[in-house]
A and B are shown apart, each in its own frame.
Chain A
């Protein structure tokens, strides 16, 4: 079985990140709060890590919640 691909969601500030975390939790879509990895952004702060197979569900929650997301970055590092 191939290893899972993860995506990192980036935000303009932690308020937006927490808002989406709560919205995803409410919708039953799994995600993890993490520090933003350097390959995804040169700035610090929170990111949300989601599994690739949940990305479409995540996009739906983003659209419904109106949370500002600054980027969706795949973790393409060698695994």
Chain B
């Protein structure tokens, strides 16, 4: 079997502790994914990525660094990967989605911090994730108070550069965000020693847009009934998008879409036609957080779309590819990224518009609005989300959870009751 222990050791990882994660992952994966019937054949690529998640891709990043390249770790869909890639560097997602990393985060963070932040900090400080070891610089942002303070703690251990995201979409916000992208570009140039040219940025804009197009195609297939792919599998694809080589990811996702479109044409579904169709909205679900999707889909419903950062917020809207100067391209990047409707904005009516639009587009029977515990922004915004859905006559269930399995039974009971209420 592949033995990556030397690489992990060279990265300064805690091998003994990391082994506990390696031991737990196969069982968790098997329970959620291999228990499904009639999965698309092309999901095998994404199974492969999970199986080798701390092996193949980290080894590629090591090779890149050995050639003098830099790796930037990111935590948010607002950070424009295009700028990093245009400087010859690699951008990799770093959000932690496992309870395994939470205690490590709790050693330095208040217990009432959201599990995503605790897990992300724990993965770094516990030295149990190669991606957190490989990133030369972390790119943070100001999308919530918990993250803003966590950057200061992480910055004691690894350089963190923070982008200052405007919190209101009003006159001047676009220019403010464009200036932040310009500053990031300068910092990335300093760190990599490479100039970002308009040609390189045009190329990386196309590369990342292609990834968005592939994900949009995947989601378009999910509008069919029967739905050709489970929500768990679609979520896994989205989660892997944050880690994989962008061109390879696009090729593999496009091949999956070819298969999904054939399944749609042949009437083949991951679930029988007519099962309740669920939209999940709220906090992001970083890998390996498959908890809610698994509960919903083992309770007789299909998750057909996610209005989350690991869903539509990640890929909707393309960057205008027509810019030929850096200034035009930076403006195009700012315009696209500022269209993301995150709960950190006030007011944030765009997110509610998105949810109502997606309900129609995906023929959704009910919405589950789920936030991570102590995620104040999505928890608070839930009031307006629920109000708008009720006004529109769309059934909605609000849930709050974390990465532990302790509340799984309770969640399942509530989800099952919600599905019964849908009367499908």
Binding site for B on A (CB under 8 A): 10-14, 18, 21, 25, 32-38, 41, 43-47, 49, 70
Task: Assess whether A35 is in contact with B50, with CB atoms less than 8 Å apart.
Answer: yes
The interface bits of chain B over 7-51 (1 if a CB of A lies within 8 angstroms of the residue's CB, else 0) are: 000000000000000110111011000100000010011011011
Give the shortest distance, in Å, between A40 (CB) and chain B (any CB).
Answer: 9
Q: Are B30 and A34 in contact (CB under 8 A)?
A: yes
How many A-B contacts at CB < 8 Å in the complex?
73
Q: Are A37 and B2 in contact (CB under 8 A)?
A: no
Instruction: Give the complex CA separation of A23 and B50 in angstroms.
Output: 21
Q: Please, which residues of chain A bring their CB within 8 A of the CB of B50?
A: 35
Do A46 and B30 touch across chains, with their CB atoms under 8 A apart?
no
Residue B56 at the chain A interface, CB threshold 8 Å? yes
Residues of the A chain whose Cβ atoms lie less than 8 Å from the Cβ of B4: 44-45
Give Cα distance in the complex from A44 to B1, angstroms. 7
CB–CB A45/B44 < 8 A: no
Taking CB atoms, residues of chain A closer than 8 Å to B44 are: 21, 32-33
Q: Does B157 contact A (CB under 8 A)?
A: no
Whether B1 pairs with A38 at a CB distance below 8 angstroms is: no
- Using A35-B47, A43-B1 as known contacts, list a sample of 20 further A-B pairs with CB atoms less than 8 Å apart, ordered by residue number in A: A10-B1, A11-B1, A12-B1, A14-B52, A25-B41, A32-B34, A33-B44, A33-B47, A33-B48, A34-B51, A35-B25, A35-B30, A36-B26, A38-B26, A41-B1, A43-B2, A43-B3, A44-B2, A45-B1, A45-B4
Q: Which chain A residues lie closer than 8 Å to B34 at the CB level?
A: 32, 34, 49
CB of B59, distance to nearest CB on chain A (Å): 10
| Neighbouring B residues of A46 by C-beta, 8 Å | 2, 47-48, 51-52
What is the interface size of chain B, counting residues whose CB is below 8 A from a CB of the partner?
Answer: 23
B55 at the interface (CB under 8 A from A): yes
- Give 15 CB contacts A-B under 8 Å: A11-B1, A32-B34, A33-B44, A34-B47, A35-B47, A35-B50, A36-B26, A36-B51, A37-B26, A38-B26, A43-B1, A45-B2, A45-B4, A45-B52, A46-B48
Chain A: which residue is nearest B4 at the CB level?
A: A44
Nearest residue (CB) in B for A75 is B30
Closest 3 CB pairs between A and B?
A43-B1, A45-B2, A35-B26
Asked if A18 contacts B48 (CB within 8 A), the reply is yes
The winner among A11, A13, A49 for most chain B CB atoms within 10 A is A13
Residue B54 at the A interface, CB < 8 A?
A: yes
Q: Tell me the nearest residue of chain A to B46, going by C-beta.
A: A33
Shortest distance in angstroms between A71's beta carbon and chain B's nearest beta carbon? 8
> Provided the pairs A32-B34, A34-B34, A35-B50 are in contact, do residues A45 and B55 lie with their beta carbons within 8 angstroms?
yes
Which chain B positions have C-beta within 8 A of A41? Answer: 1
Pick the contact of A12 from B2, B47, B48, B51 — CB < 8 Å?
A: B2
B27: which A residues are within 8 A, CB to CB? 37-38
A11 proximity list for chain B (CB < 8 A): 1-2
Min CB–CB distance A78 → chain B (angstroms): 14
Q: With A and B bound together, what is the CA distance between A37 and B50 in angstroms?
A: 13
Chain A residues within an 8 Å CB radius of B26: 34-38
Question: Assuming the A-B contacts A21-B44, A36-B51, are A14 and B2 also in contact, with contact meaning beta carbons closer than 8 angstroms in the complex?
Answer: yes
CA distance A70 to B3 in the complex (A): 13
Selected from A25, A35, A38, the residue in CB contact (under 8 A) with B29 is A35
Q: Distance in Å from the Cβ of A58 to the closest Cβ of chain B?
A: 15
A41 to B51, CA, bound (A): 13
Output the nearest chain B residue to A44 by Cβ-Cβ distance. Answer: B22
Docked CA distance A6–B29 (Å) = 16
> B25, B48, B50 — which one has the most chain A CB atoms within 10 A of its CB?
B48
- Report Cα–Cα, A43/B52, bound state, in Å: 11
Best-surrounded residue of B4, B44, B50 (most CB of chain A within 10 A) = B44
Chain B residues near A13 (CB-CB < 8 A): 2
